[in-house]
């Protein structure tokens, strides 16, 4: 079942922080059917800057390991600005303690790569539709 057809998020926006362009392209393609507005950051510094410039962003998908500033550091900073925005940690290097560390740094949820598009959309929906 393709759950993305059931979501119309044309009044919502997401910040995807991921330094791997191919990951971003896959995510963008998966989310296209939901009509969500997508912002892209290639590192934690860009993620913080884009978030500060666009306070209407509804959810953040944050890669943990990125150049310049990592996802955990960016999350920690964003949490000083907003306690309410849902942040989902998103990482390819799923170690047993990664999830606990991500949650400790202020992430609301955790997804390991690779992820099925329908699962990703379901996870975003859990947070964006609250």
Q: Within 10 A of 116 (CB to CB), how many other CB atoms are there? A: 9
Contact between 34 and 123 (Cβ < 8 Å)? no
Whole-number pLDDT of residue 4? 45
Q: Give the model confidence (pLDDT) of 23-64 as tens digits.
A: 999 999 999 999 999 999 999 999 999 999 998 999 999 999
13 Cβ contact partners less than 8 Å away, ≥ 6 residues apart: 36, 37, 38, 39, 54, 56, 57, 58
**Whole-number Å distance between alpha carbons of 41 and 45:** 8
Q: Does domain 21-128 have CATH number 3.40.50.2300?
A: yes
Residue 2 has pLDDT above 50, yes or no: no
Whole-number pLDDT of residue 100? 84
Cα angle, residue 113 at apex, residues 51 and 77 outer, rounded to 5°: 25
97 Cβ contact partners less than 8 Å away, ≥ 6 residues apart: none
Bridge partner residues of 90 (DSSP)? 63, 111
Whole-number pLDDT of residue 42? 96
Boundaries of every domain in the chain: 21-128
**Whole-number Å distance between alpha carbons of 32 and 68:** 28
Q: Which of 53-67, 84-98, 110-124 has the lowest mean pLDDT?
A: 84-98
Residue 74 has pLDDT above 90, yes or no: yes
Whole-number pLDDT of residue 39? 98
Asked whether the whole model's pTM tops 0.85, one would answer: yes
């Amino acid at each position: 079942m393709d759950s993305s057809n059931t979501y119309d998020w044309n009044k919502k926006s997401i910040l995807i922080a991921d330094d791997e362009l191919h990951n971003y392209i896959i995510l963008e393609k998966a989310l296209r059917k939901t009509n969500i507005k997508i912002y892209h950051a290639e590192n934690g510094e860009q993620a913080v800057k884009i978030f500060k410039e666009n306070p209407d962003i509804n959810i953040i998908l944050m890669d943990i390991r990125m150049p310049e500033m990592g996802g955990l550091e960016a999350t920690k900073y964003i949490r000083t600005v907003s306690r309410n925005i849902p942040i989902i940690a998103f990482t390819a290097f799923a170690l047993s303690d990664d999830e606990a560390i991500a949650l400790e740094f202020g992430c609301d949820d955790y997804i390991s790569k690779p992820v099925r598009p329908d699962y990703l959309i379901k996870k975003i929906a859990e947070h964006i539709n609250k």
